[in-house]
Amino acid sequence: MKVDGKDMRPIWFDPYSQRVQVLDQRFLPHELVVNTLATVDETIFTLKEMVVRGAPLIGATGALGVYISLVQKDHKGADNDYLLSECRRLKDARPTAVNLAWGVDRVMAAALKYEAHEKRVQAALDEALTIIEEEAVNCRKIGEYGLPLIEALSRKKKGEPVNILTHCNAGWLACIEYGTATAPVYTAFDAGIPVHVWVDETRPLNQGSRLTAWELGKHGVSHTIVTDNAGGHLMQHGRVDLVIVGTDRTTRTGDVANKIGTYLKALAAKDNGIPFYVALPSSTFDWRLTDGITGIPIEERDPDEIRYVQGLCNGRSEKVLVPPENSPTANHAFDVTPARLVTGFITERGVCRATEEGILSLFPEKTPVTK
């Protein structure tokens, strides 16, 4: 996507330096910082500390992490045990987003097809870059398949802006291009359909107010940041036409793990008869799971993310303590929205109902083989 006229992605491989580079999302929107990843430890730090975040981008970073493990200077010619244990470490960096294990396993399998180290390195890089390009295309298709939903609402509203509420950042910063939840919004905007986005600020790390608002603003999309608890009120007063969110892991039966607070938005949408769509590439389905509430691991993060708020103060980035010094905090990063609250999924293969049958109608190759 373009930032101030310049093409930008949240991760890329620089062919000149042969290095992996990422946009450091901790400093957005106020500073554009680029980091180089040269070791697996740096890649794990980047994942854990949310230098990069968002399910498809986590998958892409893990994929390139496998390549990094192979080119890390002190491990040239390393054996299979080394590769497997580095892949394990990468996969453990963030537990909820299934894209991480998917990306790491896919690149590891591509590398292990070869015995010679140099061939493994090339295979790992090629596969990781293929994943990145595929995810970019998938997100573009999600935009194309989501567009008719917004067009239909726009027709119903006779050209008045369609109000779309989103939670967290499921934009291009979380993916590679277009985003998942934002892809239909960008596609509609680019097609000249008036849209307005309610952006949940998304505590504690404010991915909505820091990242989604920045992205939408850079693209010229009309938006308003609201507190995480405002959605229900807006829905009751007819100010939300559609909810679209992303997801970090979705079961084959349609239960959706996404940033904490998503479930409450889905409940409010149901109560108010507002369509609640989840946009995702197929890399975010966990085809093994049938029950999201018991099966999806929910990441618990550093309590300091709740205790401190970071922002710009007199032109400098500052962190300030909000609650009483000694009050305990609990930082559950995701929740699970049961399939019954989801109107449908927008995927790279089309839109489907949030049921196992609906999902398998788009992904028939995932139908379990019965004997």
Instruction: Identify residue 148 by its one-letter amino acid code.
Output: P
Work out how close the CB of 133 gets to ligand MRU at its nearest, in angstroms, rounded to a whole number: 17
Compute the least distance from the CB of residue 156 to ligand MRU, in Å.
27
| Nearer to ligand MRU among residue 68 and residue 246 (C-beta) | 246
State the minimum distance, in angstroms, from the CB of residue 93 to ligand MRU: 11
Stretch that binds ligand MRU, among 30-38, 172-180, 288-296, 305-313 (CB under 6 A): 172-180
Q: How many residues bind ligand MRU (CB under 6 A)?
A: 17
Q: Give the residue nearest to ligand MRU (CB).
A: 246
Phi, psi of 61 (to 5 degrees): -70, -45
- Distance CA(22)–CA(176), nearest Å, equals 11
Taking CB under 6 A as the criterion, the residue among 26, 53, 203, 307 binding ligand MRU is 53
Smallest distance, ligand MRU to C-beta of residue 180, A = 4
Our finding on whether 258 is near ligand MRU (CB under 6 A) is: yes
Residues 132-151 that bind ligand MRU (CB under 6 A): none
- Say which residues have a Cβ less than 8 Å from residue 124's Cβ, sequence separation at least 6: 66, 67, 70, 107, 108, 110, 111
Closer to ligand MRU at the Cβ: 83 or 93? 93
The CB-of-312 to ligand MRU minimum distance in angstroms stands at 20
Site membership for ligand MRU, residue 259 (CB under 6 A): yes
Task: Tell me whether residue 78 or residue 230 sits nearer to ligand MRU (CB atom).
Answer: 230
Neighbours of 296 (CB within 10 A): 23
Q: Which of 56/338 has CB closer to ligand MRU? A: 56
Task: Choose, by CB under 6 A, the member of 247, 251, 283, 337 that binds ligand MRU.
Answer: 247
Q: How far apart are CA 124 and CA 186, in angstroms?
A: 32
In the bound complex, what is the minimum distance in angstroms from residue 155's beta carbon to ligand MRU? Answer: 28
Cα 255 to Cα 83, 252, 340: the distances in Å are: 33, 8, 8
11, 44, 55, 256: residue in contact with ligand MRU (rule CB under 6 A): 55
Please state the closest distance from residue 52 (CB atom) to ligand MRU, in A.
8
Q: Which of 43, 207, 250, 343 binds ligand MRU (CB under 6 A)?
A: 207
Q: Does residue 106 bind ligand MRU (CB under 6 A)?
A: no
Of 14-22, 50-58, 101-109, 290-298, the window that binds ligand MRU (rule: CB under 6 A) is: 50-58
Neighbours of 75 (CB within 10 A): 17
Q: Pick from 28, 164, 168, 242 the residue near ligand MRU by CB under 6 A.
A: 168
Cα–Cα distance list, 216 to 2, 76, 137, 172, 265 (Å) = 11, 43, 20, 10, 21
* DSSP 3-state percent helix, strand, coil across the chain (nearest 5): 45, 20, 35
- Measured from the CB atom, the residue of 10 and 240 that comes closer to ligand MRU is 10
Catalytic entry in 24, 248, 286, 335: 248
In the chain, beta strands by DSSP E: 2-3, 6-7, 11-14, 19-23, 34-37, 162-166, 195-200, 222-226, 242-245, 249-251, 256-259, 276-279, 285-286, 308-313, 316-321, 334-337, 344-347, 350-352
| Residue labelled with tokens 């980035």 | 317
Amino acid at position 346, single letter: I
Only one of the segments 155-163, 174-182, 224-232, 303-311 lies at the binding site for ligand MRU (rule: CB under 6 A); that segment is: 174-182
Measure the CA–CA gap between 194 and 200, rounded to whole angstroms: 20
User: Does residue 286 carry a catalytic annotation?
Assistant: no
3-state secondary structure 121-174: HHHHHHHHHHHHHHHHHHHHHHHHHHHHHHHHHHHHCCCCCEEEEECCCCCHHH
Contact with ligand MRU (CB under 6 A) among 56, 95, 338, 344:
56
Structural contact between residues 341 and 276, judged by C-beta atoms closer than 8 angstroms: yes
Nearer Cβ to ligand MRU (168/193): 168
Q: How far is CA 282 from CA 213, 274, 349, in A?
A: 26, 25, 9
Q: How far apart are CA 187 and CA 149, in angstroms?
A: 11
Positions marked catalytic: 248
User: Interface residues with ligand MRU (CB under 6 A)?
Assistant: 53-56, 97, 168, 170, 174-175, 180, 207, 246-248, 258-259, 333
